[in-house]
Amino acid sequence: MTPFDLAAGWPILSILTFLPALGAIFILFISKEETELIRWTGLGVSVVVFLLSLYLPITFDASNPGFQWVEKGVWIKTFGINYYMGVDGISLLLVLLTTFITVICMLASWRDVTKKLKAYAALFLFTETFSLGIFMAQDLFLFYVFWEAVLIPMVFIIGIWGGARRLYSSIKFFIFTFVGSLFMLLGFLVVYYYHGKATGVYTFDSTILMLTPLAPAIQFWVFIAFFLGFAVKVPMFPLHTWLPDAHTDAPTAGSIVLAAVLLKLGTYGFVRFSLPLLPNASMQLAPLMIGISIFAILYGALVTIAQKDIKKLIAYSSVSHMGFVMLGIFVFNAEGLKGSLMQMINHGISTGALFLLVGMIYERTHTRTIGDYTGLFKEMPVFGVCFLVVALSSMGMPSTNGFIGELFVLIGAFKAHWIYAVLVAVGVLLGAVYLLWLFQRVFLGDYSYAGKGKLHDLGLRETVTALSLVGLIFWIGLYPKPFLNVMDASLNKLAAQVEENYRKAEAAANAESVTAMLKETSAMPAEGSERE
C-alpha cells in the first residue's frame, strides 16, 4: 500500500483550502516580537500546502474529464446550497499556480516587510485559502462566498503595506470589484431562480444547473451581470482602471498574487460559468468580446510603451496580456480555449516573476522610475539574466512558456478570422517593443544609478526564488506536453457541453415559439369562424 492509497479517502481539497487559514490563525498567536518565527511559519505553511497540492497532479486521472477528489455535503438545505468542492483539468493548474505563487510571495517579502509582520503573513495565507476555494468550489453560492472573501485580505494588503497613494488605490480596487461581484451575485440568483422555476429543483449546484440551460433571452442579461463581475477582475477594457493603481501601490508580494492569481479568477469565471451556463449569450456576444479583447491587447500595449514607472509598465502590460486570454476564450475553438488556459498560467508565472524582480530592485533603491537606472547589467548580471528571461517569456519568445500560449491563441484567432490573428500579431510585436525597450534602458549602456551606494546582485534567497520561476518558464516552453495533457479531457467536455446547452436552449426557444405560433394559428380559425 502506497502513501497515496492511504490518503485516498481524505478530503484533500478541503485540507488544501483550509490549511493556510489554520496556519494564519496559528500565526496570530505568535508574539509579534518573534519576527523570524513568523516568517518561517508563514513560509513553512505555504511550502507544506504547495507540497500537498502536488498530490493532485500525481493522482490526477487525465482521461477523466469530470471533477476529481469531489467533496459534497449539504450546507444550507432550504436554499439548495451545498459544500461542493472538486477539481478538474481546467482548475488543476490554477490550483497549483496558487500554491506555488504563495510560496514565492512569502520569499519575496522576507526582508521587504517589517511593519505588522504578523497580520501581513496571516493575510497572505487567507488570500491563498480563498483563492483555492474559488478554483475548487462547484456550488455557485460557495463560489460567491470565497469570491467576496478574497477581496478583504487584498484590500488590507494594499491599504496597509502599500505605497504613497495606498488608501486611494485600495478603496478604488474594493469598490470596482465589489460592485462587479454584486452584479455577479444577482446573475447567480437569476440562474438559480429560473432553473428552479423550469425544473422544480432549486439549487446552486453548478453541475446540475448546467444540465438545463436558461432561455436565450434571459441568458443575455445574466451574461451581462456575470460579465460585470468577471470582467472587472480580469480586468477587461474599459473596466481596467483600478489595476494600474492597485499594482503601483501594492507591496511586491501583493502585486505578485494580484497579477498571478486574482486576475485569473475573472477569466476562470468566464470559462467555468459563463460559457456552459450561458452558451447562447456567449456566442451571441462573442464578436463584442473579441473586439474588446483585441482592443485591450493593442491599447494596453500602447499605453504600456508610454510608462515611466516600471511597475506601472508591467501593470498595463497585464491589461494587454489578459486580452489574449479573453480572446482565446471567445474565439470558440479548442485551440483558443487551450491557449487561453495556458496563457492564464503563463501570465501568472511571467508577470508574477516581473513583479518579483521589480520588487527586488525597489528594495535596494526605493525607486521604480526607469530613468533612474542605466547599465544595471554590469553591476547585477544574475538579476539581469533573470529579468531578461522573464521579459522574453512575457513577450512570447519561442522556447519560453509565453510562446506556447500565444501560439495556441493565435491559431485559435486565425481559425475564427485571419484579421484577428494579424491584429493579435501586432499586439505581440508591441509587447516586444515595450519590454525590450525597458530592458535596454534599464540594463544596457554604461552603469549609472541616481541614488547613493553600490547595488548588490541577487542573494541566495532571491536567486532561488527567481530561478524557480525561470525553470518553469523553460519547462513549459520546451516541453509543454504534460501541461496540455492535463487540460485536454476537461476542455473537450466543456466544449461539448457548451454546444449541447446551446442546442438545448435553442431548441427550447424554438419549441416555445412554435407552440406560441400554434396557439395563434389554432386561435385564428376560431376567430374566423366566430366572425362567420
User: Does residue 426 interact with other proteins by CB under 8 A?
Assistant: yes
User: Does residue 425 interact with other proteins by CB under 8 A?
Assistant: yes
With CA atoms as reference, report the closest residue to 336 among 418, 398, 394, 411. Answer: 411
Distance CA 461, CA 467 (A): 10
Distance CA 304, CA 316 (A): 5
User: Does residue 404 interact with other proteins by CB under 8 A?
Assistant: yes
Nearer to other proteins, 440 or 515 (CB): 440
Nearer to other proteins, 86 or 427 (CB): 427
Give me the DSSP letters along 481-506: HHHHHHHHHHHHHHHHHHHHHHHHHH
Distance CA 328, CA 349 (A): 18
- CA distances 363 to 155, 251, 405, 455, 465, Å, are 22, 10, 32, 11, 15
Candidates 440, 448, 515, 521; binder of other proteins (CB under 8 A) is 440
Q: Write the DSSP symbol of residue 69.
A: E
Residues with Cβ < 8 Å from 511, sequence gap 6 or more?
Answer: none
User: Does residue 398 interact with other proteins by CB under 8 A?
Assistant: yes
CB distance 46 to 125 below 8 Å: yes
Nearer to other proteins, 134 or 392 (CB): 392
**Helix or strand or coil: residue 31?**
coil
Distance CA 191, CA 469 (A): 40
Assess whether the previous peptide bond of 287 is cis (omega < 30° from 0).
Answer: no
Candidates 268, 316, 377, 449; binder of other proteins (CB under 8 A) is 377
At its nearest, how many Å lie between other proteins and the CB of residue 399? Answer: 6
Q: Which stretch binds other proteins (CB under 8 A): 184-192, 253-261, 348-356, 419-427?
A: 419-427
Candidates 480, 486, 497, 502; binder of other proteins (CB under 8 A) is 480
CB distance 420 to 427 below 8 Å: no
Question: Can you read off the three cell numbers belonging to residue 347?
Answer: 501570465
Nearer to other proteins, 281 or 416 (CB): 416
Distance CA 321, CA 301 (A): 9
Candidates 110, 309, 445, 495; binder of other proteins (CB under 8 A) is 445
At its nearest, how many Å lie between other proteins and the CB of residue 379? Answer: 12
* Binders in 107-136 for other proteins, by CB under 8 A: none
Nearer to other proteins, 189 or 433 (CB): 433
- Interface mask toward other proteins for 184-203; x: CB under 8 A: --------------------
- Interface mask toward other proteins for 27-46; x: CB under 8 A: --------------------
Nearer to other proteins, 299 or 414 (CB): 414
At its nearest, how many Å lie between other proteins and the CB of residue 166? Answer: 36
Q: Which stretch binds other proteins (CB under 8 A): 12-20, 313-321, 481-489, 515-523?
A: 481-489
CB distance 74 to 126 below 8 Å: no
* Binders in 335-354 for other proteins, by CB under 8 A: 335, 338
- Interface mask toward other proteins for 483-512; x: CB under 8 A: -xx--x------------------------
Candidates 217, 429, 516, 526; binder of other proteins (CB under 8 A) is 429
Distance CA 128, CA 351 (A): 18
User: Does residue 432 interact with other proteins by CB under 8 A?
Assistant: yes
At its nearest, how many Å lie between other proteins and the CB of residue 350? Answer: 16
User: Does residue 421 interact with other proteins by CB under 8 A?
Assistant: yes
Q: Which stretch binds other proteins (CB under 8 A): 74-82, 276-284, 348-356, 437-445?
A: 437-445
With CA atoms as reference, report the closest residue to 354 among 425, 279, 442. Answer: 442
467-488 in b/e burial notation, b at 16+ Cβ within 10 A? Answer: ebbbebbeebbeebeebbebbe
At its nearest, how many Å lie between other proteins and the CB of residue 408? Answer: 7
User: Does residue 444 interact with other proteins by CB under 8 A?
Assistant: yes
User: Does residue 481 interact with other proteins by CB under 8 A?
Assistant: yes
Rg (Cα) of the chain, in Å, rounded? 24
CB atoms under 10 Å from CB of 277, counted, come to 26
What angle (nearest 5°) sits at the alpha carbon of residue 368, between those of residues 366 and 374?
A: 105
CA 285 from chain centre, in angstroms, equals: 21
Under rule CB under 8 A, how many of the chain's residues touch other proteins? 36
Candidates 85, 411, 458, 469; binder of other proteins (CB under 8 A) is 411
User: Does residue 414 interact with other proteins by CB under 8 A?
Assistant: yes
At its nearest, how many Å lie between other proteins and the CB of residue 506? Answer: 27
Strands 81-87 and 68-76: antiparallel
Residues that bind other proteins (CB under 8 A): 334-335, 338, 377, 381, 392, 397-399, 403-404, 407-408, 410-411, 414-415, 418, 421-422, 425-426, 428-429, 432-433, 436-437, 440, 444-445, 480-481, 484-485, 488
